[in-house]
Structure 1
Amino acid sequence: MKNTNRINLELSLGKQINALISASHALNMKTAARFDSTLQPAAFLIVRWLYSYGPTSATALAESTAMDRSSVSRLVNQLKKLNYVKGEPSPNDKRGVLLSLTDLGSEKTIEALKEKESAFYERISRWDDLELENFIEMLKDFNQPDNI
């Protein structure tokens, strides 16, 4: 049986994780609006994925973002019309299309992410290197898939 102190610590951890998730979600929404306020935030999820991982198919994009294919298709079409995303024939499968960011899409993504990064940098600015290293290592350990 767990002692009261351990239970309180676990409840406190849950509260802090929830605060982190909520703050991250709010910051993602703000970043998406900075990218292009006329788009749904889910469109920025696609843009962010393409920026991080590079060209991919719509099917792979849907799977990796946990969105249904019709939503990805609709959002990609909006992003194409605004010249943020382009589609090119796949070199491996001539029938397939690889989606990637245009130069404009990359530039706007970098601008939006700078604001997001500055918010995170501001939060950790008072930490010394050892505190930051410890935090990173603890997050790595916590985020290991086999820990879930």
Structure 2
Amino acid sequence: MASTIGEQSTELRIATFRLARRLRAEKADGELSDAHFSVLAGLHKHGQETLTALAEREGVTAPSMNRTVNCLQEWGYIERIADKSDKRKVIVTLTDSGHETVMNTVKKRDRWLHQQLRTLSPEDRATLAAASELMRSLATQ
């Protein structure tokens, strides 16, 4: 068990990344990269966006986002529509297939985590519930 704050922070970082990596492996479409799924999930959460807004939210360049959007469009997960107020802009929106892929991936990840939590004692589940509140608080600071 880690004893110093430095050791504790290292152990928490490693455990968090391992759990996140394991959860990311649970996807409805195994061909989607994490970056592709992040765009789909963002559109699902925030609604339709311009290519520029997508790039800014994802922290990538517009040309990089354009390549990602091209792939997602080719696979039928998103579509581009002309902006009614400014014909030079293109709005990116999820298709029904895109929404379904996001929802199925979320369900798959939740199901996997639910199965893992069932193997723990009630006390350990309570500890994780308390830890998740603390982690959420740390993440927003």
TM-score (norm 1): 0.75
Per-residue CA deviation, residues 107-132 of structure 1 (Å, 9 max, x unaligned), is 12211221111223334444478646
1:19 pairs with 2:15: yes
Kindly indicate whether residue 41 of structure 2 is the aligned counterpart of residue 31 of structure 1: no
CA RMSD of aligned residues (A): 2.6
Is 1:86 paired with 2:79? yes
Aligned to 1:77: 70
**Relative to structure 2, which stretch is displaced further, 72-81 or 92-101?**
92-101
Q: Distance in 2 between matches of 1:136 and 1:26?
A: 17
State the distance in 2 between where 1:99 and 1:47 align. Answer: 10
Cα deviation, residue 96, structure 1: 1.4
- Structure 1 gap ranges (5+): 1-5
Q: 1:116 aligns with which of 105, 109, 112?
A: 109
TM-score after normalising by structure 2: 0.79
Which runs of 4 or more aligned residues in structure 1 lie more than 6 Å from their structure 2 counterparts after TM superposition?
Answer: none
Rounded to whole Å, the distance in 1 between the matches of 2:61 and 2:21 is 20
Q: Which residues of structure 2 form unaligned runs of 5+?
A: none
> RCO (CA 8 Å, sep 6+): is it higher in 1 or 2?
2
| Offset, 1:133 | 5.1
1:91 to partner: Cα distance: 4.1
Identical aligned residues as a percent: 22
- d(CA) in 2 for partners of 1:118, 1:24: 15
Cross-structure match for 1:3: none
- Candidates 121, 133, 138, aligned match of 1:137: 133
Alpha carbons of structure 1 residues 122 and 9: separation in structure 2 relative to 1, 3 Å: farther
Q: Distance in 2 between matches of 1:92 and 1:25?
A: 41
Q: How many residues are aligned here?
A: 137
Amino acid corresponding to residue 40 of structure 1 in structure 2 = S
- For residue 59 of structure 1, the aligned residue among 42, 52, 60 is 52
